[in-house]
Chains A and B, each alone.
Chain A
Amino acid sequence: SAVISQKPSRDICQRGTSLTIQCQVDSQVTMMFWYRQQPGQSLTLIATANQGSEATYESGFVIDKFPISRPNLTFSTLTVSNMSPEDSSIYLCSATSGDGYTFGSGTRLTVV
């Protein structure tokens, strides 16, 4: 199955700034997904990213706050914009692969 490289693995950012998280897949995948995992909580889907079309956002998430790019079938980025401490979380990318879904190793974001 596909392997995803996600970076950065962690970062500490000042409030009001933006952070872009990158995910590189070692094979072409149709669908990629971005999740947020807040402390002690489950994974919550932010958006689905297909190559060549705008991302589809879940309820409670908007493009201005979480812009996503999907320039080709092996790469995607998620930007967390105008960050506040409430954005402190683990962000994960995922892709459909083989029999299920494969996940990146996550980005642990702390906003101070």
Chain B
Amino acid sequence: AQRVTQPEKLLSVFKGAPVELKCNYSYSGSPELFWYVQYSRQRLQLLLRHISRESIKGFTADLNKGETSFHLKKPFAQEEDSAMYYCALKSGGSNYKLTFGKGTLLTVNP
């Protein structure tokens, strides 16, 4: 069975500090990993997917198959980054089901 673990429920940093939101997964095949973000009073939206290898809003995430991790990083946090972040896994093939972690609430303090 596939599983996504986000060990930190809450993460608080100061503006300008580096931030890393951890995500580990368990899946026997080739997973596709995503980071979704939910800002206050807004809907869930895609932030990153590992296949595209993009940097969005200064965030990056690298899939480490050896460590089964997909940590989200940003070198200098901004107050507007405060939000709920969810790591999600899509199993391969024709199965489009997404499995979500429990989420990490990031607070960036001024």
Contact = CB atoms under 8 A, between A and B. Distances in A.
A106 B43 contact: yes
Contacts of B96: 31, 33, 48, 96
Interface residues of B, number: 17
A21 interface: no
B43 A48 contact: no
Contacts of B43: 103-106
B11 interface: no
A41 interface: yes
A53 interface: no
Interface residues of A, number: 19
Interface in B32-72: 34, 43-46, 49, 51-52
Interface stretch (B15-23, B74-82, B100-108): B100-108
Most central of A43, A48, A99, A100 by chain B CB within 10 Å? A100
Contacts of A33: 96-98
A85 B3 CA distance: 28
A99 B100 contact: no
9 contacts: A33-B97, A41-B102, A45-B99, A48-B97, A99-B49, A99-B51, A102-B46, A103-B45, A104-B43
Interface of B: 34, 43-46, 49, 51-52, 86, 96-103
